[in-house]
Structure 1
Amino acid sequence: MRHQPPLPAGTPLPLPRLARHEGPAFAGPVPLAPRAIAEFNDLLHELHPDAPHVDADAVASVARWLMDLPPDQGEALLQARLGRLAELQALVADPDWAVEPALARRIGRMLAYVDRVRDLIPDDTPRVGRLDDALLVELAWPMVAEELEDYRDFQRFREESGDAFGGHPTRDNWLQSRLEEGALWEQLHRVRHQHYVDYGPLEGGLRVV
């Protein structure tokens, strides 16, 4: 059974895995240069090596779909993905949460691309200017999804137990606490499934006086 990769928003953008039409790529506001598509894919696979390859026709297909939507709906779909970047910025900047350097660099590369105005689709292109940014976030999301879930749990831990660590528990404090909770849960689970204690046979049998 194939599992859906983690997504930054509820449902994936309708990105076809294979080209669906012949003719010039991106029959819409701007052409997509082969070199720009290659650079986009290079960055995407640097961030997440298992991400699918994106060709110009696939981007064109999503762009046409987006432009067929009411403008407010299309903008909301893009923002549902791009709005998640604030969480990643907070994660990287949090001095209490030690991000692995390699992951921090990948997140930085993603954020830098989204900040660029002139990328695969210039940001000032009406209706679809942020589409490539949203696609990058969605397709690279599996590389940050687990870290972000851990960070959210850390934030809850810091809010609930931070006073015990001077208000600034570390990632190691959080991890140790969760490991201890897991060990306690396993112990309780075993006890609940042990209905009776076997003390062995009585020595000497029973004696009625």
Structure 2
Amino acid sequence: MRHDPPLPAGTPLPLPRAPLPGPVEAPVPLDATAIAEFNDLLHELHPDAPHLDHDAVASVAQWLQSLPQPQADALLQARLGRLAELQAMAADPDWAIEPALGKRIRRLVAYVDRERDLIPDDVPRIGRLDDALLVELAWPMVAEELEDYRDFQRFREESGAGFGGHPRREDWLRTRLEEGALWEQLHRVRHQHYVDYGPLEGGLRVV
């Protein structure tokens, strides 16, 4: 069964799933070299991400430009606003993410911080579209880690006092594994008898 990739916000931006039948006019010039650089970075961050061509980006730009300004801004911010959470996770000394993942997060943030990229940030309405697209399409590379980090934050709030106020990733993992083993044991106990006396012989006798 095919599962849709995790998303940073709501429904996905409407990228075409197949090549479009004809050329699409972009609201702003899209340089072929900039598109290639965008794809190179995207696939460095998430190798299984789709490849974007000129028409795909142009079609989403047209769609975004057709929306009321507040709605367009909200759609972009719903994606770009997730970067703060990623940066907090990467900087948390108690969590200690893998260096390779930390590098990818820094590369993602560095692109979003650039003002002159595939679509310059000062272009009205659509200037942050390429940034939002990169966040959304690269999101599967961080989604599972971020879910674990959220659970770690809950664990730290609930059990931090037992670890001097600063439980670490290994403390969270060990505790969760122990809880999982306990749950499995309880599950087994509920579904078996403590003593197996075997089948009754001779039936029941009423005296």
Normalised to the residue count of structure 1, the TM-score between the two structures is 0.92
Residue of structure 2 in register with 1:166 after alignment:
164
Residue of structure 1 in register with 2:51 after alignment:
53
Q: CA deviation at 1:98?
A: 0.8
Q: CA deviation at 1:201?
A: 8.7
Asked if 1:27 corresponds to 2:26, the answer is yes
- 1:102-122 alpha-carbon deviations (Å, 9 max, x no partner): 000001100000000001000
- 1:162-194 alpha-carbon deviations (Å, 9 max, x no partner): 001111000000000000000000000000111
| Cα RMSD (Å) | 1.5
Residue of structure 1 in register with 2:2 after alignment:
2
Q: Is the 8 A contact 2:90 2:97 kept in 1?
A: yes
1:159–1:192 CA distance, 2 compared to 1 (3 A): same
State the SS of the aligned residue for 1:5. coil
Q: Is the 8 A contact 1:96 1:169 kept in 2?
A: yes
Asked if 1:116 corresponds to 2:114, the answer is yes
Q: Please, which of 144, 148, 167 is the counterpart of residue 146 of structure 1? A: 144
State the SS of the aligned residue for 2:174. helix
Q: CA deviation at 1:90?
A: 0.3
Structure 1 runs of 4+ with >2 Å offset: 199-202
**Partner Cα distance (1:133, 1:27) in 2:** 17
Asked if 1:125 corresponds to 2:116, the answer is no
Residue of structure 1 in register with 2:205 after alignment:
none
Q: CA deviation at 1:17?
A: 3.0
> Which stretch has the larger CA shift, 38-47 or 13-22?
13-22
**Partner Cα distance (1:174, 1:181) in 2:** 11
Q: Percent of pairs identical after alignment?
A: 80
The code of the aligned residue for 1:3 comes to H
The code of the aligned residue for 1:123 comes to D
How many residue pairs were aligned?
200
Q: Is the 8 A contact 2:26 2:61 kept in 1?
A: no
**Partner Cα distance (2:193, 2:126) in 1:** 63
Normalised to the residue count of structure 2, the TM-score between the two structures is 0.93
The code of the aligned residue for 1:122 comes to P
Structure 2 counterparts to residues 6-21 of structure 1, below 5 A: 6-21=6-21
- 1:56-106 alpha-carbon deviations (Å, 9 max, x no partner): 100000000011111100110011000111100100111101100000000
**Partner Cα distance (1:168, 1:56) in 2:** 48
Residue of structure 2 in register with 1:86 after alignment:
84
Q: Is the 8 A contact 1:158 1:168 kept in 2?
A: yes
**Partner Cα distance (1:152, 1:59) in 2:** 32
The code of the aligned residue for 1:27 comes to A
Q: Is the 8 A contact 1:26 1:32 kept in 2?
A: no
Q: Is the 8 A contact 2:9 2:79 kept in 1?
A: yes
